[in-house]
Amino acid sequence: MSASGVLRIGTRGSALAIWQARWVRDALQRQHPDLAIQLEIIKTTGDKILDSPLSLIGDKGLFTREIEQALLRKDIDLAVHSLKDLPTELPAGLVLGAVTEREDVRDVFIPHPRARHRRLADLEAGSVLATGSLRRRAQLLAMGRSFSVVDIRGNLNTRMRRLEESTWAGMILARAGVVRLGWEEKVGETIDPNVMLPAVGQGALGIEIRGDDARTREQIAVLEHVPTRQATTAERALLHRLEGGCQVPLGTLARFEDGDGKRGRLVLDGLVATLEGDRVVRGSASGSPGDAEHIGTNLAEQLLSDGADEILRHIRAGS
């Protein structure tokens, strides 16, 4: 907390990022009504470079690095991230102080506003779909529908505008962000995770703080949602074991088999695919929620032995 007694929240400047930061601010304000809170908008590398696919400019810290630097300089007291953007290895001195309750984890198909089709199954072979994610691209191509996939960058407002101006059939986005911005009516289809596994941590917010900041850690404790923490810990452990120096078409989802994060087993599904979706390695692992990290690592080892190792070697070699 600053010398003035104000809790400063660092965030990116997109409409979605500001919505998320305000949501955190309001949740904290309800629990700490006398706490003064202000938002600090910080532009990240991923926000500045919009003319290249993410896979060509690297994936580690694209949307977090500048915010983390501000946190280490003590210009801000906490950072609000979409958890799927937060690397599994944090800079020395920083920790994941809280993980919020997860929203809908699924992806959605947003059809062109003038199109008659509303579902992926309705599209003709060769239809053009837009996404900025290698994970989505690979799974779309793996459907065997001869889709043509184009890259799209920018915040959600920019993507919506580009879709309207295009001749594309539609685009794929995370449902959580679309709903948070009040655009649910634009959704043509919410895609079942059995068809398209989401990204690591999709739908959850990660609150990053300095490890030695006990006061802020105590203040944000009200945001922590244990089942989401357990589920995303398994997913992030999977990513950590598989991660290399480039983007990887990797999808995963952890779920509780009885729907209760405090009981039952944690089940983790995952896949690694080639960039063109012509080969997909899938697997599943389960165990006690308290062993979430172990479950993620185990599934990673299983996927590697089943062929993901070869896929990742080709991707990292630029094949």
Residues marked as catalytic: 85
**Six-digit token pair at 227?**
């089942």
Q: In sequence order, what are the beta bridge partners of 253?
A: 269
Instruction: Give the C-alpha distances (Å, rounded to integers) separating 248 from 209, 240, 244, 268, 276.
Output: 27, 12, 8, 18, 12
Residue 116, amino acid: R
Report d(CA 185, CA 180) in Å as an integer: 12
**Six-digit token pair at 263?**
């009981």
Residue 304: CB atoms within 10 A of its CB come to: 18
Q: What angle do CA 23, 99, 297 make, to 5 degrees?
A: 150
Helices of type H across 130-207:
134-141, 156-165, 175-180
- The pairing of strands 107-111 and 94-99 is unpaired
Contact 81, 64 (CB under 8 A): yes
131: buried, middle or exposed (CB in 10 Å: 19+, 13-18, 0-12)? Answer: buried
Phi-psi region for residue 149, left (φ > 0), alpha (ψ -120 to 50) or beta? beta
Report d(CA 224, CA 207) in Å as an integer: 9
Contact 299, 283 (CB under 8 A): yes
